[in-house]
Structure formats: C-alpha cells, structure tokens
Amino acid sequence: MFNELNWKRILTVAGVLGVVSGIIPMFFTPDLLLSTLPVAMMFAIYFIVQKVTNRRFTHGIIGSVLSALISYVVYFIYVYAKLGASEGTTALKNALVQLPMLVVIISVFGTFIFTKTHEWTEKKRGELDAKVAAKKANESKAQVKDKHSKVDKPYVAHATTKKYRNTKKKKKK
C-alpha cells in the first residue's frame, strides 16, 4: 500500500502548504490558524488529487492531514518561542481540543468531493474526446467521398470559340 503512493508529491505539496499555513498567523493574529489551516488542507487535496493516477482518495487524505500537522508544528514552534512555555502549552491544549475534528472532516469530505469531481471531469472529457474523434472521422470520410464524386461526374462539353451561326432563313419583306 505505501509503495504505491506518490510520496514525493505528497511531501512536497503538504510541506509547502503546511509551512505557509503555519507562518501566516505569525504576521497577523494567532487565531488566524483556524482560517489558514483549512485553506491549506483543501489546496493540498486539490494539488495532489489532480496529479496522481491511482489511489486518489488515500493520497488526498494523507496530504491533507500531513499539511495540517506541519502547520501545527510550525505554528507552535513560533508560539513557544514568542509567548513562552506556559502560554504556548495553553494554546497547544486549546488547539488539540478544537482542531482535530476540523482536520478529519476536511480531510475526508474534501478528498471525497475533489476525487469524485476529478473522476467525473475525466469521464466527461473522455466522452467529449470520443465525440470529436467520431466527428473528425465522419468528416474525413465525407471528404474522401467528395473527392471521388468529383472525378466520377459525367463529362460536360464547354462552349467553344466557334461563333454561332444562324441557319434559319430570314423572311423577305
């Protein structure tokens, strides 16, 4: 199971988005983690599910949870360094109570939605490509038929430079 996963993509996407999500609250307000974390998780799911070919659901859940964990770690390293151990421990306890359910809900439902949407899009794209290919095949058959039909037309004589001569006799007056 673990050999089939695209770990390079999972670690890259989850790492970058987790670090960004953990750093953003440092510059604004500490409560912003509750906003940046879900956004980073959804982007991680989106970027991973779009590129992998098998086990999309597993890839999405692992990438989402990993980006959340990295975001937690980056954020709490900052909190412990900036606020101290007592306030950092309090913030960590509050986050461990509030955020795990959020992570599970976003991971499962977000991955399910992105996976099903991607599969539906691929199915519709395949149907559209089949229609276009059939239309091109019909057009190429019609062009071949037209080429032969021009050759098979009967010969029609064209007017020559010979002048028209009236053979009727004129009435005398």
Residue 73 binned pLDDT confidence (cut-offs 50, 70, 90): confident
Q: Would 105 be classed as within a structural domain?
A: yes
Q: Would 38 be classed as within a structural domain?
A: yes
Q: Would 55 be classed as within a structural domain?
A: yes
The DSSP secondary structure of 2-56, one letter per residue, reads: TTSS-HHHHHHHHHHHHHHHHHHHHHS-GGGHHHHHHHHHHHHHHHHHHH-SS-H
In the chain, the largest separation of any two C-alpha atoms, in whole Å, equals: 135
Residue 3 binned pLDDT confidence (cut-offs 50, 70, 90): low
Q: Would 89 be classed as within a structural domain?
A: yes
- Range in 48-57, 88-97, 160-169 with the lowest mean pLDDT: 160-169
Q: Would 84 be classed as within a structural domain?
A: yes
Q: Would 45 be classed as within a structural domain?
A: yes
pLDDT recorded at residue 162: 64
Q: Would 128 be classed as within a structural domain?
A: no
**How many structural domains compose the chain?**
1
Find the domain containing 87 and state its range.
7-114
d(CA 63, CA 111): 10
pLDDT recorded at residue 30: 67
pLDDT recorded at residue 36: 81
Q: Would 70 be classed as within a structural domain?
A: yes
Residues 93-144: pLDDT tens digits? 777 777 778 888 888 888 888 888 888 988 998 899 888 888 888 877 766 5
